[in-house]
Amino acid sequence: MNQEKGRLLQENDRLFQENDKLNQEKGQLTQNMKMLEDRLNGTISKLEKRIQELQTKGTDRPNTKCCPPRWQTYRSSCYQLSSTTNTWYYAYRDCQSKGAHLVTDNNALKKRFVHAFGYRHEMWVDTPTTRFHDCYCPSVDASHTSLVLHDCYEHKYWMCKKN
């Protein structure tokens, strides 16, 4: 009986020591968690401040616009170059289906952008004054310097513009 009592007292001491050790580990984990929470809150605050700065910058620049994926920004418009070729009619409808219109070739600065973005492709364009001449549609040559009329059913690249 005394032997059993001694063994139980030893087991009780061991359990108290183990409990103390677990409480110390819990305290250390709580302290680590608090430190990580503080760091996370600091990072969140910095990110929120940065978002605010970027949003403010965006309002400071009226010519800046966020365009949908796969569209390029130029001034206050978005441009998308087709990845395939097709007819002028298809190009015209494709731009309309995207809430855009076929790019017009009526501004020297825009011509330089279209040339840089459109590479060296001959492309369908729209013109403010002339659409069709007996089934011929406007395009720009590969250098983007000359407006040319081609059979509307030829296949060419095109560029859509979204305001």
Half-sphere exposure of 65 (CA within 13 A, CB side): 16
Confidence at residue 107, expressed as pLDDT on a 0 to 100 scale: 61
Strands 77-81 and 147-151: unpaired
- The model's pLDDT over 61-80, given as tens digits with 9 standing for 90+, comes to 454 568 889 898 887 889 89
Residue 44 has pLDDT above 90, yes or no: no
Strands 136-140, 123-124: pairing is antiparallel
For residue range 98-113, what is the model confidence (pLDDT) as tens digits? 999 998 866 655 666 6
The pLDDT assigned to 156 comes to: 92
Task: List pLDDT tens digits, range 13-43.
Answer: 899 899 989 889 988 988 888 888 888 778 8
Residue 36, Ramachandran bin (φ over 0: left; ψ between -120 and 50: alpha; else beta):
alpha
pLDDT at residue 111, rounded to an integer: 65
pLDDT number for residue 114: 67
Q: What is residue 84's predicted lDDT score, i.e. its pLDDT?
A: 93
Q: How confident is the model at residue 39, as a pLDDT?
A: 83
pLDDT tier, 132 (very low <50, low <70, confident <90, very high otherwise): low
Mean of the per-residue pLDDT values for the chain? 80
Beta bridge partners of 151: 136
Cβ contact 78:162 at 8 Å: yes
Q: Looking at residue 38, what is its pLDDT?
A: 81
